[in-house]
């Protein structure tokens, strides 16, 4: 469906904001960059993303080619999500936001966790693994 999108202007800023210009999208990208791969893990963001918004963003990101998903469990089906190269490239936008926020908004700090750039899809534990 990517080719069917109508651009509101040819400006690359406007077009990128049409995709990720809201309060949640880039936080989902942040959490995927930090190594969270399952719906449950992504739901545990410190900002408490609402379930319906997370589901919507994952669907839109997949349609836009920012992420892909694969089933890591069959009964019930559970998916792991990972950024594509196109999605990972948004890390430059995130880093610019990190630098601006840390410099200009008192009380902010980088979250303790894998660095933004240490990207790689971690294999989620299967249900039976967790039980053992």
Q: Which residues have C-beta within 8 Å of that of residue 77, sequence separation ≥ 6?
A: 71
Return the range that interacts with a copy of itself (CB under 8 A); candidates 52-60, 75-83, 91-99, 124-132: 91-99
Give whole-number Cα distances, 97 to 52, 59, 68, 104, in Å: 25, 24, 24, 10
101 binds a copy of itself (CB under 8 A): yes
Return the range that interacts with a copy of itself (CB under 8 A); candidates 7-15, 54-62, 70-78, 118-126: 7-15
Residue 98: burial class (beta carbons within 10 Å; 0-12, 13-18, 19+)? middle
Return the range that interacts with a copy of itself (CB under 8 A); candidates 41-49, 54-62, 68-76, 121-129: 41-49
Task: For the segment 103-132, give every residue that binds a copy of itself (CB under 8 A).
Answer: 103-111
Residue 40 structure tokens: 């449950």
The values of phi and psi at residue 73, to 5°, are -155, 145
Residue 51 CB, shortest distance to a copy of itself, in Å, is 17
Q: Where does this chain bind a copy of itself (CB under 8 A)?
A: 3, 7-19, 21-24, 26-27, 30, 46-48, 86, 89-90, 92-111
């Amino acid at each position: 469906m990517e080719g069917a999108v109508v651009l509101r202007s040819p400006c690359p800023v406007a077009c990128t904001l049409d995709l990720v210009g809201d309060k949640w999208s880039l936080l989902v990208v942040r959490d995927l960059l930090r190594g969270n791969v399952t719906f449950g893990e992504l739901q545990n963001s410190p900002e408490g993303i609402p379930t319906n918004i997370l589901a919507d963003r994952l669907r839109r990101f997949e349609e836009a080619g920012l992420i892909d998903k694969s089933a890591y469990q069959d009964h019930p089906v559970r998916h792991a999500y990972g950024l594509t190269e196109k999605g990972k490239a948004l890390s430059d936008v995130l880093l610019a936001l990190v630098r601006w926020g840390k410099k200009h908004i008192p009380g902010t700090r980088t979250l303790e966790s894998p660095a933004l750039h240490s990207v790689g899809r971690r294999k989620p534990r299967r249900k039976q693994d967790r039980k053992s």
